[in-house]
Amino acid sequence: MRSCDVKKTKEERLIELMGGRERAAQWLAARHGGGGRNDCWRWLGGLSLSGYGKVHRKDGDAKIEGYAPRVAWVVANGRPVPPGTRVYRSCEWKDCVNPAHLDVRQVGRL
């Protein structure tokens, strides 16, 4: 399979629709409560029913939705969330998008 044939993750597609990593980082920064490197950056945008930050974009006639912490992790790390892993927070806030609080771990492992 050629690299141009590789299917993008939902987060990569959302970042692409935002205009790339730099623009996505600016967009995300405008939608959290800010703070220092160690503070929680509480998401000010829409939330899922379970309290996680949500991100969405129109892609033609389709709507692409993702979780803000996952998008923040991809923007900060410049690579997709690896298969078989999830983004976990080191803080108690489900709506935190501070990359310093986000880490990927294998599903089922703390």
- Mean pLDDT across the stretch 60-82? 95
d(CA 62, CA 66): 13
The 10s digit of each residue's pLDDT in 75-89 is: 999 999 999 999 999
pLDDT recorded at residue 3: 54
**Cβ neighbours for 68, distance < 8 A, ≥ 6 positions apart:** 28, 31, 43, 45, 52, 53, 54, 55, 95, 97
**Average predicted confidence (pLDDT) for the chain:** 91
Tally of structural domains, the chain: 1
**pTM as predicted:** 0.88
pLDDT recorded at residue 1: 46
The 10s digit of each residue's pLDDT in 33-49 is: 888 999 999 999 999 99
For residue 99, is pLDDT > 60? yes
Domain of residue 21, residue span: 3-106
